[in-house]
Structure 1
Amino acid sequence: MRISRTDVAVHDLIQDFSRVDVGALIDRLARSAAVVTAAGYAGFVQVDPLQELARSVALHGPPGDPLRVRAWLAESGVLKELAVCHRPVLLARDAPVGEPGFLAVPVPLATREQAFLWIAGRDFDDFDTHLLGRFATAAGRALEAASGMEAAVRLLRGVQAFAP
């Protein structure tokens, strides 16, 4: 069977567009947020405001989790606060009580669900809020672009299925 130029062209587009790995992108964004803000920890929380639920979808932190941020996220009630909040959340560090210091900002997303980008591990101030907000905007753009590439792949598979 002879392969048509259309098949090759569409196949090549699908291959190029499929190279975006959203999970890896989210992880890289979290790691980069920790570095850019000089925080020990960073991650993303996905929010369902209708059901008032939030869940952690990425967490980057030092090996061994010395501040126990994973446990703190699950036990502190901060996820519940993010589920109903639409603005930055800033919690001071209080090491004797186990509070790691926490800052979360909404990620502006147009076509995806609501999300927060957060950092933890020290005290944060207005400069950190501004810096993380700018980073969250860039992250939102990257996630939207990745979502657009995934949608394009689905559409191109339809083109491929119906192309002569």
Structure 2
Amino acid sequence: MSNPIEDRLTAMGLALPDAAAPAANYVPFVMQGNTLYVAGQISSGPDGLIKGKLGEDMSVEDGARAARTCGLSLLAQVKAACDGDLSRLKRVVKLTGFVNSTGDFVDQPKVINGCSDFLVELLGDAGRHSRSAVSAASLPLGVAVEIEGIFEIS
């Protein structure tokens, strides 16, 4: 049986990566009732980690593309948490985005829009969420963006 979310991803020319294993002493997600908490997913693409510092060596557009990869990784974790059934995703509740940026960089929201816009494009109203977008002096492994999420699951 086809899954509407995965069909839409395919139509967008995208595919979910494998759900990343934890890199330290934590679990990638926790399900509490119908609420799924997904640990921070770092910017990574087919060529590896997307590294950089906004306001120094990355443009806002590059940062937004990095944030979009975090969205794909978040969905990969949702799929893993739902035993491979992404149709159980009912809504994106909240994202918290961290942007590796210089002290004078002020466009963190524009960077995290890369993930937010992607989720709304993919999921429609179910992708609309509350959000925080904050600066970080550095992020793990030098990545540009890290985003964690809270989701409603059936």
TM-score, normalization by structure 1: 0.32
Q: Name the structure where strand makes up a greater proportion of residues.
A: 2
Tell me which of the two structures has the higher relative contact order, counting C-alpha pairs closer than 8 angstroms and 6 or more residues apart.
Answer: 2
Structure number with bigger Rg = 1
Q: Name the structure where helix makes up a greater proportion of residues.
A: 1
